[in-house]
């Protein structure tokens, strides 16, 4: 179980909420983890159970069916999910799409989508990346052309989390091709819209329990009121919202790193070599002591970052620094923890193998480590 005794930002209410998250995951998630890994997707019923238990969209206003809490509750869901070793794409809905709709949606859009998202009846995705544009988002080619009371959208997206399961996609498209960042808009696209098709469920080296897909749009006609916010303003929305997305990845990275450490500690205490426990070699204790120290620093920093975000003070550079540091920490911890498992660590039946595979991408998605350094560097 994830030890939270040294955390500084959580109250008794948080403890009760965390307990309800654990109870649901014990019942509805942990018994199915291997099925999710095998199938490459989480069944929709799990989303509904999360909705019924109050785990979806913690920050959504009660006017739209949500509990109206703050990001500390999102962090609890994400910590527990990540510590469990699951990559069910709740992070997209809880930490990203719900906030885009709350921040920029019309009253009609909020009424139409948020209550269903809170209930787990509407699964969402956010589609920005394209085969030819990831880090350089302003280079996207998906294009939305105004035609009377509609927009007609053509293009494609790649690596989209929840892409297979999604009922609703927040789609980034160019509405003014003559402009770069200033010519992008966001659309709320229902996935049963004619012209919308899903491509392959992508075959990833890790995070196999979450679905990741290609999406295609061929003369896809959406009503003009599908526009989210103002035309050509998407880039400023993305810059605003990316801070929370990056902090979320930092949360998952820290919790997964802690799980890897806990796995290594248990394994080395249980296995013998040269007539003693692996744990009793000085090297093992020194490696674990070093990781423990880094994790302690990590939790303190994470609590600082979450509290700062809840206070509205976590700027883009600080959020990028959090993502950079915690994901790089995760990489170091999973590598050392796997090494302490010896050959067992390379076997998929051991949790550490999954944690190792799952960790690699956190330095890539949500903005690569190199882009994080660019953002931080530009703020200096």
Mind telling me the catalytic residues?
245
Contact yes or no for 95/136 (Cβ under 8 A): no
Query: Which SS3 state, helix, strand or coil, does residue 373 take?
Result: helix
Tell me whether residue 160 or residue 189 sits nearer to ligand FAD (CB atom).
160
The answer to the question of residue 254 lying near ligand FAD (CB under 6 A) is: no
For residues 78 and 93, what is the distance between their CA atoms, to the nearest angstrom?
11
Tell me whether residue 126 or residue 352 sits nearer to ligand FAD (CB atom).
126
- Write the DSSP string, 225-268: GGEESSTT-HHHHHHHHHHHHHHHHHHHHHHHHHHHHHHHHHHH
Sole binder of ligand FAD in the list 50, 55, 126, 333 (CB under 6 A): 126
Tokens 């989508």 identify what position? Answer: 113
- Choose the binding region for ligand FAD from 65-73, 124-132, 139-147, 173-181 (rule: CB under 6 A): 124-132
- Choose the binding region for ligand FAD from 77-85, 116-124, 158-166, 178-186 (rule: CB under 6 A): 158-166
The answer to the question of residue 368 lying near ligand FAD (CB under 6 A) is: yes
Tell me whether residue 130 or residue 263 sits nearer to ligand FAD (CB atom).
130
Closest CA to 258 of 334, 363, 360: 334
For residues 78 and 245, what is the distance between their CA atoms, to the nearest angstrom?
12
Task: Tell me the per-residue interface mask from 202 to 231 with ligand FAD, x by CB under 6 A, - otherwise.
Answer: --x--x----x-------------------
Sole binder of ligand FAD in the list 129, 154, 193, 236 (CB under 6 A): 129
Residues 6+ apart with CB under 8 A from 236: none
The answer to the question of residue 128 lying near ligand FAD (CB under 6 A) is: yes
The answer to the question of residue 176 lying near ligand FAD (CB under 6 A) is: no
Sole binder of ligand FAD in the list 72, 93, 161, 258 (CB under 6 A): 161
Interface with ligand FAD: number of residues (CB under 6 A)? 22
Q: Positive or negative, the Cα torsion across 12, 14, 19, 23?
A: positive
Q: Closest approach of Cβ 116 to ligand FAD, in Å?
A: 20
Q: Which helix (H) or strand (E) holds 220?
A: strand 212-223
Contact yes or no for 79/58 (Cβ under 8 A): no
The answer to the question of residue 359 lying near ligand FAD (CB under 6 A) is: no
The answer to the question of residue 181 lying near ligand FAD (CB under 6 A) is: no
Specify the length of the chain in residues.
380
Cα 8–Cα 11–Cα 14 angle in degrees, nearest 5: 110
Cα 142–Cα 147–Cα 151 angle in degrees, nearest 5: 40
Task: Tell me the per-residue interface mask from 80 to 119 with ligand FAD, x by CB under 6 A, - otherwise.
Answer: ----------------------------------------
Strand 227-228 with 272-273, pairing: unpaired
Q: Closest approach of Cβ 1 to ligand FAD, in Å?
A: 27
Sole binder of ligand FAD in the list 135, 230, 293, 296 (CB under 6 A): 135
Q: For binding to ligand FAD (CB under 6 A), which residues are involved? A: 125-129, 134-135, 159-161, 204, 207, 212, 361, 364-368, 370-371, 374
């Amino acid at each position: 179980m994830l030890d939270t005794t040294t955390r500084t930002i959580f109250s008794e209410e948080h403890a009760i909420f965390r307990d309800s998250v654990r109870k649901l995951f014990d019942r509805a998630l942990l018994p199915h983890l291997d099925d999710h890994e095998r199938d490459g997707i989480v069944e929709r019923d799990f989303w509904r159970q999360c909705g019924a238990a109050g785990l979806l969209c913690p920050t959504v206003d009660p006017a739209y069916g949500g509990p109206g809490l703050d990001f500390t509750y999102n962090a609890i869901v994400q910590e527990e999910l990540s510590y469990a070793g699951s990559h069910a794409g709740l992070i997209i809905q809880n930490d990203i799409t719900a906030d885009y709709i709350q921040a920029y949606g019309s009253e009609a859009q909020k009424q139409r989508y948020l209550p269903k998202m809170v209930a787990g009846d509407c699964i969402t995705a956010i589609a920005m990346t394209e085969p030819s544009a990831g880090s350089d988002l302003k280079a996207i080619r998906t294009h939305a052309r105004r035609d009377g009371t509609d927009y007609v959208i053509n293009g494609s997206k790649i690596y989209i989390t929840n892409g297979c399961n999604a009922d609703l996609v927040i789609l980034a498209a160019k509405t003014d091709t003559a402009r770069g960042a200033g010519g992008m808009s966001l659309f709320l696209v229902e996935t049963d819209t004619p012209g919308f098709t899903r491509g392959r469920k992508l075959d990833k080296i890790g995070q196999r329990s979450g679905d990741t897909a290609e999406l295609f749009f061929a003369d896809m006609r959406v009503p003009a009121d599908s526009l989210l916010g103002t035309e050509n303003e998407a880039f400023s929305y993305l810059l605003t919202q990316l801070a929370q997305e990056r902090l979320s990845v930092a949360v998952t990275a820290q919790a997964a790193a802690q799980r890897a450490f806990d796995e290594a500690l248990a394994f080395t205490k249980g296995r013998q070599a040269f007539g003693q426990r692996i744990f009793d070699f000085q090297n093992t204790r020194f490696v674990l002591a070093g990781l423990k120290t880094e994790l302690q620093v990590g939790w303190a920093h994470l609590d600082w970052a979450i509290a700062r975000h809840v206070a509205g003070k976590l700027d883009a550079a600080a959020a990028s620094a959090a993502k950079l540091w915690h994901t790089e920490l995760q990489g170091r911890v999973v590598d050392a923890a796997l090494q302490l498992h010896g050959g067992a660590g390379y076997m998929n039946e051991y949790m550490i193998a999954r944690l190792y595979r799952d960790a690699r991408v956190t330095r890539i998605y949500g903005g690569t480590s190199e882009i994080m350094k660019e953002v931080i560097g530009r703020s200096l």
